[in-house]
A and B are shown apart, each in its own frame.
Chain A
Amino acid sequence: MDSLALLFNLFLDGVATGAVYSLIAVGFSLLWWLADIQHLAHGGITLTAGYAIFFVVASLDLPLPLGIVAGLAVAALLGLALEAGVYQPMRLRGSTEMALLTASLGALIVIEYSLTLTFGPESVSIDSGSLRTPLLPDMLRAVDRFAAITVGVTLAVFAGLAALIRYTMLGKAMRAVAENAALAEVVGLRVLRVQRMAALLAAALVTPAAALLLYGNGVTPSDALHVVLTAATIAIIGGRGSIGGALLAGLLVGIVEAVMQWQFSVGWRLLSTFGLLYLLLLWRPQGLFGSKA
């Protein structure tokens, strides 16, 4: 394969990876926007959903839809428990931003090592079989049915989320709470409930991403921090609370990481993500699509 074709394949591969990233990042962004929580434990929830699917599909040998339901249930419960049990009481007590960040970091570590103790430190994955056969083996090896499913699922989830926020009463309430929580409270919105719904939604959104990770490169407990860092990076680049921003920034990060491999060894990949973020924060702290706070 000549060099240019390789670059093109890496680019397409980056699109698929970036799509998964943006699915995880949008939940982080949502909760940050609505509840002012920098939800580092989000990475742990993603992996927990992955392990739930793995447990149901590979260990219990049940069909994938049941696995997805289990993943959704576990992720949603965990997300809700953290918001209602940790973040909300701390916020109501007037905890500092630093205390909330620390609590979230602690929760991430607890989840990561609970998974390690339960399932072991090794990576688990499910073979995606014929889905990975390239559709056009001569030229575009990165294009297979799995990549198409990844991109399709991502676009569908994002469209659904955008519609939910734009057209439903819950979406309206969310926008009101994000805009001005005190005023929303005054006009009778139950702010805490809306925030709990947002936590539920953010956690549910990671389930498709977790499934895609599981059938792709696999999930490992020690990935928890990396997953949420990438998500936070994307949420920052995309701009707090911007759904479209999260999608574009996810694709951008995925593509940059993949294309880096054209010239540099894989080890340097992380450097590109964080180098990109560092430069962006120097130049435009509110992100590419965010408005100034």
Chain B
Amino acid sequence: MNYAIHILITVNIFVLLALALDLLVGYAGLMSLAHGAFFGIGAYSTALLTKAGWPALAAQSAGMLLAALLSGLIAIPSMRVRGIYLLIITIAVQIMFSVAAQNWIGLTGGDAGLANIPPYSIFGYALRGVYFLVVCTACSVFWFLLCRRLTTSPFGRLLRALRDDEVGCAALGKNVVAAKMAVFAFSAALAAFSGSLFAHYTAYVDPRSFEIGVSILVLLMVMLGGAGTLTGPILGAIVLSVLPEAFKFLPLPPGAAAASRQLLFGLMLVLVVYFRPQGLIGRRRSQIATHG
């Protein structure tokens, strides 16, 4: 039972991350491999602030605000560059975060990490086990509905237009700069929200949980399920957080199990974009959009 709860909480944490990245990758057409860093910012903010006596919700909000502000680091260069340049900038931010988390020992505890993070609590009630799962699930549903509202709103239409033809968008008098800043800030804040839940759940944070591998895994979830849909990345998050558990039951030596899991992830990434670029449940974009 506890094992099932553990898996379901993990699924929820990744669902939130996949939703956050999908807004960028799927809707706005902006690549990011920095979501592990924003996830980490949320987790470290929660760890440091709740240990300093802040209430959980306040610490979580502070982390989201910080992530939204720092997302400007990526949003500002993204005004001028796309594709590989943007990808490398996001990787640069991700790696700078990891380096800081490992080496700024006074703040983050370095590789030893920070332990004894109190459980998530609302109005003084500490939530553990199945209660925490219920809260996480409620959060996922809430953010899913919010993202759906957002993507069907005029703002969501603007994001898709931005993805398909940025110059055309600007020519129609849309504020491209503000739209990009907003979507980055929103996406980073959502990733930090998820990171905060993660920190409360594991009660312990260290740099390894937020390195670039996490960013890649979340990208894989989005691409596998179908970028540009909201249900697709959720499906991707569920498949890819449950699948590794299956590997634990295979009779493989410890190192080989982790390596073959990563190998499988990489292979899936190639096969999905090769054979089904729209993802498992995505729809093909119209021909006009792809040639535009």
Chain A: residues with CB nearer than 8 A to chain B?
32, 38, 86, 89-90, 94-103, 105-110, 112-114, 116-117, 120-121, 225, 229, 232-233, 236, 265, 267-268, 270-271, 274-275, 277-278, 281-282, 285
Contact = CB atoms under 8 A, between A and B. Distances in A.
Contact of B269 (A96, A105, A233, A278): A105
Contact of B223 (A32, A102, A112, A117): A102
Given A121-B259, A236-B85, A275 B96 contact: yes
Contacts of B270: 86, 103, 106-107, 110
A101 B86 CA distance: 12
Given A113-B259, A268-B103, 17 more contacts: A32-B84, A86-B270, A97-B83, A101-B84, A120-B255, A121-B259, A225-B212, A236-B84, A267-B99, A270-B95, A271-B100, A274-B91, A277-B88, A278-B73, A278-B89, A281-B81, A285-B77
A275 B92 CA distance: 7
Interface of B: 25, 29, 31, 73, 76-77, 80-85, 87-89, 91-93, 95-96, 99-100, 102-103, 212, 216, 219, 223, 255-256, 259-260, 262-263, 265-271, 273-274, 277, 290-291
B77 A278 contact: yes
Contact of A106 (B76, B259, B273): B273
B78 to A, nearest CB: 10
A174 B241 CA distance: 45
23 contacts: A94-B290, A97-B84, A102-B223, A105-B219, A106-B267, A109-B269, A110-B266, A110-B270, A112-B266, A113-B259, A117-B263, A229-B91, A236-B84, A268-B103, A270-B95, A274-B93, A274-B96, A277-B88, A278-B77, A278-B93, A281-B77, A281-B85, A285-B81
Nearest to B73: A278
B266 A113 contact: yes
A167 to B, nearest CB: 30
Contacts of A285: 77, 80-81, 85
Given A106-B268, A274-B96, A96 B277 contact: yes
Contact of B262 (A90, A94, A105, A112): A112
A274 B291 contact: no
A271 B96 contact: yes
Contacts, number: 131
Given A116-B259, A236-B85, A285-B81, A103 B267 contact: no
Contact of B92 (A101, A105, A268, A274): A274
Contact of A103 (B76, B85, B100, B274): B274
Contacts of A277: 88-89, 92
Q: Is the contact region of chain B dominated by helix, strand, or loop, or is it mixed?
A: helix
Given A109-B262, A225-B212, A281-B89, A101 B96 contact: no
B83 to A, nearest CB: 5
B216 A109 contact: yes
B102 A267 contact: yes
B226 to A, nearest CB: 12
Nearest to A100: B273
Nearest to A114: B263
Contacts of B223: 102
Contacts of B212: 225
B158 to A, nearest CB: 19
Contacts of A278: 73, 77, 89, 92-93, 96
Nearest to A276: B92
Given A106-B269, A121-B255, A225-B212, A96 B95 contact: no
Contacts of B92: 274-275, 277-278
A103 B95 CA distance: 21
Contacts of A97: 82-84
A234 to B, nearest CB: 11
A183 B255 CA distance: 51
A277 B103 CA distance: 20
A112 B269 CA distance: 14
Nearest to B105: A267
Contacts of B267: 106, 110
Nearest to A94: B290
Contact of B273 (A102, A117, A121, A270): A102
B277 A99 contact: yes
Contact of B291 (A94, A100, A105, A113): A94
A113 to B, nearest CB: 4
Contacts of B89: 277-278, 281
Nearest to B266: A109
A44 to B, nearest CB: 10
Contacts of A229: 88, 91, 95
